């Protein structure tokens, strides 16, 4: 938990959203400075999976390879039904792959649970827990000491605009606020790698844009390793360093796109010609795949 406390103290010294470039990487605070020399946070190596129902075998994933480096924000876009959820279940250890393996920080963890911090599509806050207790849940599950955790959670809630809602129950909050609390729950989890599964898909367009900017700012400050699933190409381009484009079922990596924009990123990059060009290309790929999967 020390890494969060570090980030907090420095954040509270410099104000609400300090310039991200001067910040030390949160995820590597106690380790060697250069994240490139560390083994990647996540490696998916040749993962295939098919499901058998009523003697009919449907391949869902076909030889998926992808990597999330330390402190990298990586997105995964693809047509609906491309097996993204199955991939998340395999990474999370809920399902075993037929072939291939999952490595985290250089260690094989195929089929092991509790190695990732997960944020589902719906906020999935526990209705009987207060916002504060919800945020503390991930640490509680891992059996971390409570001392200090509550204090940290309160300061974070304050920072993400949920101050005064610590003792509120989830149903009293708007959808956007619930999603923020769910994100904080994932952020304060002890696991380094965050898996965000279409976290903003249930929000209205305005709130969604707001949440994207909010996530961008927060992430650029913290630099956790993130694997982000989304349907929105624009969202992926705005947030990530690398994008994997998935094919339709059976899902596999079709293209890998490195997003060249420097950080910290501003909203204005969405008007950049390069941004528009990339968006065009990705949209075309997606359209092709969608058309193929319809046949």
Partner 1 sequence: MRSYWSQVWPPLVAVVLVLGGWQLAVSLFHIEAWILPGPAAIAREAAGNSSGLREHTAATLRLTLIGFPIGTGVGLIVALLLHLLPGLKRAVYPLLILSQNIPTIALGPLLIIWFGFGLLPKIVLITLVCFFPVAVAAMGGLAQTDRVMLNYMKMAGASKWQIFSKLELPGSLPSLFSGVRISATYAVMGAVVAEWIGSDKGIGYYMLLQKAAYRTDRVFVAIVIVVLLSLTLFAVIALLERWLVRWKPGKPT
What does the binding site for partner 1 look like in residue numbers (CB under 8 A)?
89, 92-94, 113-118, 120-122, 124, 126-129, 137-138, 140-142, 169, 171, 189, 195
Q: How far is the CB of 126 from partner 1 (least distance, A)?
A: 6
CA 183 to chain centre: 9
Number of H helices, E strands in the chain: 8, 10
Nearest approach in angstroms of CB 222 to partner 1 is 19
The C-alpha atoms of residue 88 and residue 77 are separated, in whole angstroms, by 13
Contact predicate 225/26, CB 8 Å? no
CB of 199 to partner 1, least distance (A): 12
Residue with tokens 């420097």: 262
Least spacing, CB of residue 117 vs partner 1, in Å? 8
Residue 38 vs 202, nearer CB to partner 1: 202
CB nearer to partner 1: give 195 or 216: 195
**Smallest separation, CB 122 to partner 1 (Å):** 5
Of residues 160 and 202, the one with the C-beta less far from partner 1:
202
- Residue 132, SS3 per DSSP: helix
CB of 74 to partner 1, least distance (A): 18
Write out the two tokens for 92.
């999370």
Burial class for 179, CB neighbours closer than 10 Å (0-12, 13-18, 19+):
buried
3-class DSSP state of 2: helix
Tokens of 163: 């101050």
Q: Which is nearer to partner 1, 86 or 247 (CB)?
A: 86
Tokens of 154: 């309160």
Q: Tell me whether residue 202 or residue 254 sits nearer to partner 1 (CB atom).
A: 202
Nearer to partner 1 (CB atom), residue 73 or residue 118: 118
> Quick check: 100 and 45 in contact, CB under 8 A?
yes
């Amino acid at each position: 938990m020390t890494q969060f406390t570090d980030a907090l103290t420095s954040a509270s010294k410099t104000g609400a959203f300090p310039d991200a470039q001067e910040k030390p990487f949160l995820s590597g605070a106690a380790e060697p400075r250069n994240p490139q020399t560390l083994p990647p946070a996540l490696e998916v190596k040749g993962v295939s999976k098919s499901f058998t129902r009523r003697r009919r075998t449907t391949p869902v994933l076909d030889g998926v390879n992808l990597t999330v480096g330390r402190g990298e924000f990586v997105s995964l876009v693809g047509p609906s039904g491309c097996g993204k959820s199955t991939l998340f279940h395999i990474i999370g250890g809920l399902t075993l792959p037929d072939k291939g393996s999952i490595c985290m920080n250089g260690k094989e963890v195929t089929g092991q649970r509790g190695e990732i911090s997960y944020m589902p599509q719906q906020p999935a806050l526990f209705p009987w827990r207060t916002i504060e207790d919800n945020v503390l849940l991930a640490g509680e599950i891992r059996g971390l000491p409570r001392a200090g955790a509550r204090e940290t959670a309160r300061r974070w809630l304050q920072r993400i605009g949920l101050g005064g809602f610590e003792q509120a129950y989830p149903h009293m909050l708007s959808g956007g606020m619930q999603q923020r609390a769910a994100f904080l729950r994932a952020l304060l989890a002890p696991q380094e790698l965050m898996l965000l599964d279409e976290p903003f898909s249930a929000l209205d367009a305005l709130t969604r844009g707001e949440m994207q900017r909010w996530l961008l700012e927060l992430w650029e400050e913290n630099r956790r390793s993130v694997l982000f699933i989304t349907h929105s190409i624009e969202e992926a381009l705005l947030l990530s360093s690398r994008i994997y484009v998935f094919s339709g079922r059976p899902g596999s990596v079709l293209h890998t796109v490195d997003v060249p924009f420097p950080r910290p990123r501003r909203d204005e990059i969405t008007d950049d010609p390069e941004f528009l060009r990339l968006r065009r290309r990705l949209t075309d790929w997606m359209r092709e795949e969608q058309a193929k999967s319809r046949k």
